[in-house]
Amino acid sequence: MLGRFMQGKDTAGPDGRASQWPPYPPPGETDLEKVLRLEGEREAKKVSDEIDHELEMERQTTRKKQKGEKRLLLLGQSESGKSTLLKNFQLYFTPKALRAESDAWRAVIHLNLVHSVNFIIDLLINTAASNAASNSTTYHPHGGRPRTSVEDDAPVASGLSSHTPQLSSEIRRYKLSLSPLRQVEKILARQLSTDEAESPSSPSSRFFGRPSEVVVRGGRGWKSLLRRKAQDGTQQQRSTADPALENARRILDACRGDIVALWRSESVQAGLREEGVVMREQSGFFLDQAERVANMSYEPTLDDILRARLETLGVEEHRLVMETTAEAGQHWVFFDVGGARGQRASWVPFFEDVHAIIFMCSTAGFNEVLQEDRGINRLLDSFNLWKTICSSKLLTSVQFILLLNKTDILDARLKAGVKFSSYVKSYKDENDLSHVLDYLRMKFAAMHHHHSPERRALHVHSTCAINIHTTSTVLVQIRDTILVNYLKATEML
Ligand SMILES: Nc1nc2c(ncn2[C@@H]2O[C@H](COP(=O)(O)OP(=O)(O)OP(=O)(O)O)[C@@H](O)[C@H]2O)c(=O)[nH]1
Ligand SMILES: [Mg+2]
């Protein structure tokens, strides 16, 4: 460290004294002062050399650790499927590690379920109350709400409300019998959140016809937190499970019958239709499996884990030690980012240090708007984001992989008669999956070509990230692309 200071010799400070190291002897220095000064300087140099040595060792360790490590950055707007793709990688390449996280995912799935139930009750209670208050036949609580779902394209019945007195009394009954779920939601949110201030927004919050998001702050390792809590429980109470989570499961199990009845109720379904809410299209939807999921003996299936929804905040680092034979022992590091608009500034520091980016675009976004900005079409937002990413100079030599995701939802919407051309004016082709995907592939490739500072290969795949079977083929292709590029970059090919 001193060495660095010593390079700049003979420079004078503001007081006219030399600012070099070691300093000139002060004027009128006695012999004793000189001895003490020289000794002090020797000591300072020794400390400085030790620090330099430690820093060098640290640099070498990091270099060694990073040698052979593949680093990937997952990018894309919120709900495009980044965390779900990561789960696919884990399922395929580190299945044992993922199974070990099963308890953490069960808590997320339970939170998703109770979140949906509390949302439905709040929504229908509130609209019933508003209806009673206004007593108006033309009232519609979501009057200005953008139409974002397939079912939304069906004409709304009329200005007449279907909120019958029967629904009002039924929903009040459910509110009472399912009130313990408020507590369950709080317990689970607290367990999954590493920071009280970051726990999910109030259970009753209503966010444009869909439940507010369940969020977790990235980088703080919520899964390990949950494991640690469970271990603490083990030491203190000789039980393998966290007592708070056990309690939540018991309450949920006791409420199971009423949850199923609520979801099956004709009048509740009619009420949701009236509100234009399509629960099945929402992330983290488990109401169809409530009987199984709320059961005390419930163990999440792989399919459940892929469908669980937890919004990422910030940037989460996931280190995967590959378990598959061909890659056994290899270290792959994934940086999974929060995709909402407010999160995107935190991506940039990771640009410089990755081998590849995987950009996810939700193809289902063509007739949706951003949650965080209701005036912006999701596909348009993806286009703009893609252009920005392509034009980044920091990513010039990084491998680019684009995934056109949620093809299952896109397919269902096109088959249901939603016209892609109604939302994308430049689209003139047939309204089917393969033509729309061809169009999107060409569009993204053209933007990549146009906005990249230098020529760069682009690998495009279409995916349904909740289908591990179809996605695994893509994972293998991605792995090969990354490995080939990595070997080229390290001049081993
Ligand atoms: N139907 C369907 N759902 C999907 C697909 N991919 C992801 N999902 C679901 O979409 C929801 C959102 O996916 P996430 O992976 O959490 O999205 P994300 O990009 O990580 O979102 P942020 O963390 O907010 O940036 C989850 O509930 C997933 O199960 C898909 O291809 N099809
Ligand atoms: Mg995420």
Which residue's entry shows tokens 């007592």? Answer: 243
Report DSSP state, residue 178: T
The mean pLDDT of 289-300, rounded to a whole number, is 97
- Other Cβ atoms less than 10 A from the Cβ of 333: the count is 17
- Other Cβ atoms less than 10 A from the Cβ of 387: the count is 15
The mean pLDDT of 447-455, rounded to a whole number, is 95
Could you tell me where the beta strands, DSSP code E, fall in 331-456?
331-337, 356-362, 399-405
Beta bridge partner(s), residue 337: 315
Return d(Cα 467, Cα 363) in angstroms, integer: 16
What's the complex ipTM?
0.99
Residue 454 pLDDT class (50, 70, 90 cuts): very high
Angle between helices 165-177 and 266-275 (to 10 degrees): 100
The residue whose CB lies within 8 Å of the most ligand 1 atoms, and thus the one to mutate among 74, 84, 357, is 84
For ligand 1, atom 14, the nearest C-alpha belongs to 81
Residue 86 has pLDDT above 50, yes or no: yes
Q: Is 312 in the pocket of ligand 1 (CB under 6 A)?
A: yes
- Cα–ligand 1 centroid distance for 214 (angstroms): 13
Nearest CA among 193, 213, 202 for reference residue 343: 213
Enclosing H/E stretch for 207: strand 206-207
Return d(Cα 207, Cα 215) in angstroms, integer: 14
Q: Is 339 in the pocket of ligand 1 (CB under 6 A)?
A: yes
Tell me the three state secondary structure of residue 340: coil
The residue whose CB lies within 8 Å of the most ligand 1 atoms, and thus the one to mutate among 91, 280, 283, 437, is 283
Beta bridge partner(s), residue 73: 335, 357
Domains, the chain, with CATH or none? 70-94+322-483 (3.40.50.300), 102-307 (no CATH)
- Cα–ligand 2 centroid distance for 413 (angstroms): 24
Return d(Cα 404, Cα 262) in angstroms, integer: 36
What's the helix, strand, coil split of the chain in %, to 5?
55, 10, 30
- Cα–ligand 1 centroid distance for 208 (angstroms): 19
Please tell me the number of the ligand nearest to residue 115's CA: 1
Return d(Cα 200, Cα 197) in angstroms, integer: 9
**Residues 156, 196 contacting (CB under 8 angstroms):** no
Report DSSP state, residue 377: B
Residue 203 has pLDDT above 60, yes or no: no
356-373: per-residue pLDDT in tens?
Answer: 999 999 999 999 999 888
Residue 211 pLDDT class (50, 70, 90 cuts): low
- Cα–ligand 1 centroid distance for 179 (angstroms): 29
Q: Is 309 in the pocket of ligand 1 (CB under 6 A)?
A: yes
pLDDT of residue 159: 40
169-201: per-residue pLDDT in tens?
Answer: 899 999 999 999 999 999 888 888 755 444 444
**Residues 281, 54 contacting (CB under 8 angstroms):** no
For ligand 1, atom 13, the nearest C-alpha belongs to 81
pLDDT of residue 63: 62
**What is the C-alpha radius of gyration for the chain, rounded to an integer number of angstroms?**
29
Q: For 453-465, b where at least 16 C-beta lie within 10 A, e where not — what string?
A: eeeeebbbbbbbb
Beta bridge partner(s), residue 359: 75, 402
**Residues 440, 447 contacting (CB under 8 angstroms):** no
